[in-house]
Amino acid sequence: MRIAGGDVGEELLVEEDERGGVEVLAKLGEEELDELQEEGGEQLLEEPVVVEYRGSVRLRPLLLESRGIFPQEETRMSMTTRVRCTALAIVLALFTPVAHAGDWEQVGKKGDWKNTAAMVGMNGSLWSIEEDGTLFRTDKKGNYEQIGKKGLFKHTTMLEAMDGLLWTVEGGTLYKSDPVAGRWEQVGAKGDWKNTAVMVGMEGSLYSIEQDGTLFKTNKKGEYEQIGGKGEFQNAEFLEAMDGLLWTIERGSLYKTNPAAGKWQMVGKKGEWKDTAAMAAGSGFLWTIETDGTLYKTDKNGKWQQVGAAGEYHAVKLLCGLDGKLYTVEGGTLYRTH
């Protein structure tokens, strides 16, 4: 997989920026890198990215675990890690079902969700897209129905739910769909969203971060404006909306941002969220899963609590908040945690 001109695991020539991030100057093999360093040369990539530096330099695709940074030429259905309800691509090599010790229950039949690529919660139901691009609506009892034609959403690269509509990015263009009425329309100009890495809906607007870390606010007509300075969110690994604020994890720390007032602050201790593998928001809580598969629930004040036993969510493929509950897909089966 490629991200902003680099491959995961590639050797890179980098330099540290003012905020502690690392800017890629060149991507080279070891021999080429040594030669370039000896000559004192610097070769800037077309799209420099921020990486995490831990000893040897390796590219870590920021925002990937949340909902974004995917090649636009890909079809929508390799979107297991690119959508609103986070897919846990880093911790979930084991797709075996687990038994939760906490307050949880299976929803629907075992294996019903084995082909699901994305899901969002809206108006008391789960809306999901299969790997072939087919849309389904599922109620809280697990009863589901197909919405629209088979494969109708096969070109989507991002999915969000807001104000009773499904918002998708397809081929770099934003669309809104009314799944109940069966209507859809393009929003804004074609290709406006081709550089979008992640998006989230809040209070009637879409907030999105570009691949260069710049934040934008877009209204329902497709009119957008830049929020803050260019690249201010370049270190963001996760983005969620809750309680009228944007919540991000940047270099292992949790931040909340008021985009209207232009104010932000760290929540909790620095580096406290460094092991977070996935995050979803719903009904006043942030739900997060650590890299070891442990689930946490955090309120708007930053007070958190562990849910269930350590490591029991290691098999989660998708997670989504809906009406104060957490819905997860594990081993192809849907579960609900209270």
Task: Give me the phi and psi of 78, to 5 degrees please.
Answer: -100, 40
Note whether 44 and 109 are same-domain residues. no
User: Are 43 and 86 part of one and the same domain?
Assistant: no
For residue 68, tell me if it sits in a domain.
no
High-pLDDT (> 90) share of the chain, % = 63
Residue 120 and residue 45 share a domain? no
178 in the same domain as 47 = no
CATH number at residue 297: 2.130.10.10
- Rounded to 5°, angle at Cα 51 from 46 and 55: 130
Instruction: Note whether residue 215 is domain-resident.
Output: yes
Long-range contacts of 251-256 (CB under 8 A, 24+ apart): 251/20, 251/21, 251/52, 254/298, 254/302, 256/300
Q: Check whether 116 has a pLDDT greater than 90.
A: yes
Report whether pLDDT(44) > 60: no
181 inside domain: yes
What is the model's pTM? 0.72
Task: Name the phi and psi angles at 274, rounded to 5.
Answer: -65, -20
User: Is 231 a domain residue?
Assistant: yes
> Does residue 62 lie in a domain region?
no
Residues 52, 80, single domain; the answer is no
Q: How many domains does the chain have?
A: 2
In angstroms and rounded to an integer, the radius of gyration of the C-alpha atoms of the chain is: 20
Low-confidence winner among 14-18, 261-265, 270-274 (lowest mean pLDDT): 14-18
In tens, the pLDDT along 210-261 reads 999 999 999 999 999 999 999 999 999 999 999 999 999 999 999 999 999 9
pLDDT tens digit string along 300-322?
A: 888 999 999 999 998 899 999 99
Residue 260 sits in the same domain as residue 292 = yes
Is residue 18 situated within a structural domain? Answer: yes
Asked, for residue 134, whether it belongs to a domain, the answer is yes
Confidence at residue 322, expressed as pLDDT on a 0 to 100 scale: 93
Q: Supply the range of the domain harboring residue 16.
A: 2-57
Query: Pairing between strand 205-210 and 215-218?
Result: antiparallel
Please state, in angstroms and rounded to a whole number, the distance separating the CA atoms of residues 205 and 327. Answer: 24
**34 and 106 both lie in a single domain:** no
190 in the same domain as 269: yes
